[in-house]
Amino acid sequence: MASPITRINRRIPTEEEIREQELKHLAEGAAKSNPGLLMFMDIIQEMYDAGYLEIFHGMVKNREKVMPYVFDFIKVSGTPIVLKNAVTGLQFLSTLEPHQVQRTMNAVSHGMNKALDTNTEEDQKGFFDLLKMMKDPDVNRSITMLLNFLKSMGEHLGNSPQDVNREMNQDKQEITNE
């Protein structure tokens, strides 16, 4: 029968061995991401040449004196509101179908160009002219789309905030599942 192990000899690396191993890992990582590192170094050099790094360095060194002014500027400029609105706008855009947005934007662009090309003094319409125009299939299609938009928007404005959040979460879930 073998004798029991009563003592375990652990090899503890020296600080020099640890530093050597870390340098080896850094060199391997730098070799793997060479193009990215070179681009990053170029960006840093451009920032240095433009003087941005000196400004940033000064701000970091004097952070206790500078930060109150930065926060006051952020509060006064309305930056948090702008950022929140930007995020909300991006969330809104993520709920729309890209091909439908493209089609609608093309139609709006075409309509704007046509509207700007008309001479308003020569092309004045009376009440009966407007009624006749409603028989035009293109005008009818646009009016129908606008009325459906207004009806749907009005229905949605009548919903409680909880219902709106629930719908937004369902839309996000459907988009992620696709």
Asked if 164 and 156 count as a contact pair (C-beta separation under 8 A), the reply is yes
Asked if 175 and 94 count as a contact pair (C-beta separation under 8 A), the reply is yes
First to last CA, the chain: 64
Q: Where are the alpha helices (DSSP H) in 33-136?
A: 34-50, 52-61, 63-77, 79-94, 98-117, 127-133
Separation between Cα atoms, residue 103 and residue 76, nearest integer Å: 40
Is the torsion defined by CA of 73, 78, 83, 86 positive or negative? negative
CA distances from 94 to 99, 100, 148 (A): 12, 12, 21
174 falls in which pLDDT band (50, 70, 90)?
A: low
Taking residues 129-139, what's their average pLDDT?
Answer: 89
Separation between Cα atoms, residue 178 and residue 174, nearest integer Å: 6
Q: Is the pLDDT score of 178 beyond 60?
A: no
Token readout for 37 is 């590192």
92-127 pLDDT, tens digit per residue, is 888 888 888 898 889 889 888 888 887 766 677 888
50-100 pLDDT, tens digit per residue, is 999 998 888 889 888 888 887 787 777 777 788 888 888 888 888 888 888
